[in-house]
Structure formats: C-alpha cells, structure tokens
Amino acid sequence: MQDHRGSAAVSEPEVQRVVSEQQTIHIAGEWRPAISGATREVLDPVDATVLAVVAEGAAADTDAAVAAARAAFDGGKWPRTPVAERAALLRRTADLLDRDRERIGLLESRDAGKTLEEGRVDVDCVAAAFRYFADLAAGGSAGRVVDAGSPEVHSVVVHEPVGVCALITPWNYPLLQASWKIAPALAAGNTFVVKPSEITPLTTVALIELLVEAGLPAGVANLVTGAGDPVGARLADHPGVDLVSFTGGLTSGTKVMRAAADSVKKVALELGGKNPNVVFADACATEEDFDTAVDQALNAAFIHSGQVCSAGSRLIVEEPLRERFVAELARRADLIRLGRGTDPGVECGPLVSAAQLARTEEYVASALAEGAVLRAGGLRPEGPGYFYRPTVLDGCHRGMRVVREEVFGPVLTVETFRTEDEAVALANDTEYGLAGGVWTADPGRARRVAGRLRHGTVWINDFHPYLPQAEWGGFGKSGIGRELGPAGLAEYQEAKHVYQNLAPRPVRWFAG
C-alpha cells in the first residue's frame, strides 16, 4: 500500500494496515474516505484479527463514482485514445504487477486466506490477463468491411466501448476476478467503477494504485469499497451505468440482473458452479495413473479450501474403482496441512469468514443427516480462525442438498456410475454448468463425454487450468456471457454498423 491513506507497521512489514484515514475510495483521481465517514474492519481469516480498516462507501459515494466515470467517458480522452496507447498502459500495469509481485501476492494471501504461493500465482495470472487483452485489442482490426451489394455503398462494422462499466467482484479471487473485467474494459476504451467484495477489498485498492502509477487518466478507474447492498445494488440499477459485469453467487447475481432490467443495461454474470469430476476406471490402470487421478481429484476439490467457482466438488467415479479411489483420496485429504498461508509447509488456508465456515458446517451436517458417509474431515481444528478440515463424503446422491448446491468450502461428495451414459447424465444433472473434468485412457470416450457435458469448460485428464486466451463462463445458472478470450473483450464493446452511401439519390417511395 502506498501512503495516501497512512500506514503502520505490523508483524509482517510488507502488509501495512490501513489505519489513519481509511481513504480506500477512488473517485476522479482522488483517494477519499466514505462521505458518511463510515469504516469497515477487514479481518484476517487466519485468526480473526483486524488486518485493515477501509472506507465503507454507500449510495452517495457510488453516485459520485458513477458521475466521475460518466464524465471521463462522455468528455474525457480515454475512449478516443488510440488503442496502441491503451494497450501500452495495460502492459505498463502488467510490468508494475511483476515488480510488486511479492507485496501484492502477500496482501492477497493475508486478505483471502490463501497460501503465499497461491497469492503470487494470482498476481502472475493478473499480469498475464493485462498482457493478453493489451495484445488482443492492439492486434484487432479497425473494423469489418461488409459487402452491401453495391459499389456505391461503403459499409463497415466497427467496435466501440460500451461506456461506463460497473464491475462487481467476489472474495475468493479478488484480484484475478477484478483483472478479468478491468483489463478488457480498459482495452476497449471504457471507464469503470469497481466494487470489490467487502470481505477482501485490499488488492483491488492496490491494483487501482498501479493503474494510477501507470498513467491512467483521472476518472477512468473508480473504486468504491463497501457492501453489496447499497454499493453493488446502486451500481446495478444506476441509470448512469451502461454495463454491469458481476462475479459472485447465484442469489446476488439474480438480484443484479433484476436491478439492471429497468435501465436495460448490458449484463454479464459469472456465477457459481457444482462441478463434476468424472473418473472412469480405465484412467487408473497403472499405479502411476491411479496416483495422478487421485492427486488431481484432491487438488480439484481442496485448493484454496474449495473456495473456487470451478472446484471439482462432485467426484463421480466408476463403481469398481470407488472403494480404492475414495480410500486413497480420504487418506491424502487427512494429510493436508492447514495453517497461515505464509508459514512454510502450509498447503491450505482457512475459509474466508465465519459465515463461510458456518455454511460449510451446516452443509456437512445436512449431508450426514441425509445418509452420507464421512470418510475424511468433517470438523474444524482447534484454535482461532476459520479453518475446516478437507472433507470427503461418500455414498452421496442427487437427492442431497450437498450434491445439488454450491458449498464453496472444502467438501467433496462421492457418487458412482456403471455406464458412460450414466456418468454423463449425472455430470449434467445440475442447474449450474461452469466446469467439469473427465478422466479416461480411452481417447474416443474422452471426446464423446467432453462433447456431451453441458459445462463452459471441460478438462480431459486434468482439472483447473484456464488460459487467458480461452473463454471462461458457464452454461445454465453459472452465468451469462464469457470472460477472457476474444468474447471477454467483445463483452465490453458495442458493434456499430456504419453504412455510407457514396451516391445518394431520392428513394421515391412516396409519390407526393
């Protein structure tokens, strides 16, 4: 953090607490406290101590931020800045992220409760997203000439920025999710107001600082820290906003969509997932292959304590393999080392909040009451913080809430199948459709199953990788639209058809 808000030393000097003025709202190039003077404590999920104090914005702050973004779009230079210059700013931001990798990675680790290495990787991925959208925008065509069927007409389709974008992000990958929106929004020439999760706002503040340092004109990037309601809700129904891009849960996502309806905003939603990981017995023919499939299933379910929208939280395993697979998975789940993400040897941090911990406990209790068999975890370890042991629930079926609904915690359910058709039917039997994996040694089966899965990303013999150049998003209730890839830029553009008649004459439709 830089010094516009004041700071004090803490036990880890790289993470400075925001203590004095709580000026974490950024509007028209200035850092400010909330108009009301309200603040919010951001807790360290490892021990529930106060990590930072930030401004608690409300509707008035949001209105001021939208007004600044509106003025910068309607009258400012940014939308008309040559795309090469916009791309250069994005690349400078990526370079600054590289420079500050340790600092921001640590901040993310502390704020979101992830391991330091995960925090560092997130920063790398954010820099990659900035570079990808810089290249994509700069390398794109200035327009597409279309054949109007007449030599006397010049007809071209151009892409223009949408306008003022409201960008609302969740707590699990705060910086990464912000970058998937901010980078394409800027590359396309938009202005924006970003609202990070009130639980993990710190790295978004840091990212805005870097954009300012990279030379972004005042008013283009605005930030309001505060609660979903009023800040996010006000952004979603604000008449001065042209597009709202939301990543978060289904409940808030549907509220955003309703709120955006009256002003007919463009809406992009990246919502939850209940993601199947389908393992055929033939994927485990050798000990090495068995070890790989188990290891990846463990990673799919428990990385970042399962607080991943694409977590492989439903293991769907071929019946003859079940007992051996689940036994090994449970054995390894019991070995996962929980702790503070910056401590050596720690593999998993805590859940992000007391609410998330309570939610996880409630889902596990309901699963056990419905007949699930506990094979690992199912408890919180002694001590402070929001830790929960990685949990494997065997004997699950689609009648159980824990199989249908997103837990967003370290809980893996196990279902079984006997035929390929049954595996596909189970994997598709979800209202979501974000991501899924299939493990098989049979390439034909791999392609067949991948083709039949109704999910936005399908991994074959892998789980979790994504590429900035490949679209990310969901079928069904996992959302609307796509982030990343060419579609992730198109989300922030309006297509305009410019039809030029080179030899105008009267139409003479009307005789008089």
User: Could you list the active site residues?
Assistant: 270
Tell whether the torsion through CA atoms of 96, 102, 105 and 106 is positive or negative. Answer: negative
Identify which range of 126-134, 221-229, 358-366, 373-381 contacts ligand NAD by CB under 6 A. 221-229
Q: Which of 479, 482, 484, 491: binder of ligand NAD (CB under 6 A)?
A: 479
Identify which range of 17-25, 195-203, 323-331, 343-351 contacts ligand NAD by CB under 6 A. 195-203
C-alpha to C-alpha distance for 250 and 370, rounded to whole angstroms: 24
Output the six-digit token pair for 432.
């979501």
Q: How far is the CB of 413 from ligand NAD (least distance, A)?
A: 16
Q: How far is the CB of 41 from ligand NAD (least distance, A)?
A: 16
Phi and psi, residue 309, nearest 5°: -60, -30
Q: 186 and 220 in contact (C-beta within 8 Å)?
A: yes
Give the relative orientation of helices 174-187 and 116-139 as an angle to the nearest 10 degrees: 10
- CB-nearer residue toward ligand NAD: 24 or 478: 478
Q: Which of 228, 339, 409, 468: binder of ligand NAD (CB under 6 A)?
A: 228
- Please spell the DSSP secondary structure of 175-220, one letter per residue: HHHHHHHHHHHHHTT-EEEEE--SSS-HHHHHHHHHHHHHTPPTTT
Q: Which of 249, 476, 481, 486: binder of ligand NAD (CB under 6 A)?
A: 249
Write the single-letter amino acid at 400: M
Phi and psi, residue 234, nearest 5°: -65, -40
Q: How far is the CB of 340 from ligand NAD (least distance, A)?
A: 22
Output the six-digit token pair for 427.
């994997």
- CB-nearer residue toward ligand NAD: 108 or 394: 108
Q: Which of 22, 62, 252, 413: binder of ligand NAD (CB under 6 A)?
A: 252
Cα dihedral 137, 142, 147, 153 in deg (nearest 10): 150
Question: Does 434 participate in binding ligand NAD (rule CB under 6 A)?
Answer: yes
Question: Does 177 participate in binding ligand NAD (rule CB under 6 A)?
Answer: yes
Question: Does 491 participate in binding ligand NAD (rule CB under 6 A)?
Answer: no
Q: Which of 198, 318, 328, 420: binder of ligand NAD (CB under 6 A)?
A: 198
3-state secondary structure 350-385: CCCCHHHHHHHHHHHHHHHHCCCEEEECCCCCCCCC
Residues 388-417 interacting with ligand NAD (rule: CB under 6 A):
406, 408
Beta-strand relationship, 243-247 and 266-270: parallel
Identify which range of 83-91, 101-109, 223-231, 386-394 contacts ligand NAD by CB under 6 A. 223-231
Identify which range of 54-62, 166-174, 314-322, 500-508 contacts ligand NAD by CB under 6 A. 166-174
Question: Does 312 participate in binding ligand NAD (rule CB under 6 A)?
Answer: no
Identify which range of 146-154, 231-239, 447-455, 490-498 contacts ligand NAD by CB under 6 A. 231-239
Q: How far is the CB of 166 from ligand NAD (least distance, A)?
A: 9
Q: Which of 31, 78, 133, 171: binder of ligand NAD (CB under 6 A)?
A: 171
Q: Which of 109, 197, 313, 342: binder of ligand NAD (CB under 6 A)?
A: 197
Question: Does 181 participate in binding ligand NAD (rule CB under 6 A)?
Answer: no
Beta-strand relationship, 266-270 and 479-480: antiparallel
Binding mask 255-294 for ligand NAD (x = CB under 6 A): xx-------------xxxx---------------------
C-alpha to C-alpha distance for 497 and 494, rounded to whole angstroms: 10
C-alpha to C-alpha distance for 82 and 5, rounded to whole angstroms: 33
- Please spell the DSSP secondary structure of 217-282, one letter per residue: PTTTEEE--B-IIIIIHHHHH-TT-SEEEEES-HHHHHHHHHHHHTTT-EEEEE-----EEEE-GG
- Helix, strand, coil tally for the chain in percent (to 5): 40, 20, 40
Which residues bind to ligand NAD, rule: CB under 6 A? Answer: 168-173, 177, 195, 197-198, 227-229, 232-233, 236, 247-249, 252, 255-256, 270-273, 309, 406, 408, 434, 474, 478-479
